[in-house]
Amino acid sequence: MADSDLLALLRQEQAAGAKVGAEATSSKTVPMDTFKWVVGGLLGAIVIAVGWFLNGIQSDMRDVRKEVTGIRVEAAVTNTKLEELIAEFRRRNPR
């Protein structure tokens, strides 16, 4: 295109009321309300997924805490029995 053709095109755009230097937009654009609705829905889905994931971790932590408590109780019972056996052994076999 020659410079004169570009000038003629710019003058036509100015006459039509278009901004000089603005890019032409496609007629198939998404309305802003629809875009906000879709993005809001996606963000909501992400929040729900993260909450579900964290809830799963929290329930796993509760299970681990219960198991650790059970292990501590078993260890205390075992220590008590071991101390009783050691005391009995010392009574039977004095040094």
Structure tokens at 71: 């292990």
Amino acid symbol at 91: R
Question: Among the ranges 10-19, 23-32, 73-82, which has the highest mean pLDDT value?
Answer: 73-82
The pLDDT of residue 11 is 78
Give residue for tokens 């260890």: 75
**Length of the chain as a residue count:** 95
What's 25's DSSP letter?
Answer: P
Structure tokens at 20: 């000089």
- For 47-56, write each residue's pLDDT tens digit: 999 999 999 9
What predicted TM-score, i.e. pTM, was given to this entire model? 0.48
What's 23's DSSP letter?
Answer: P
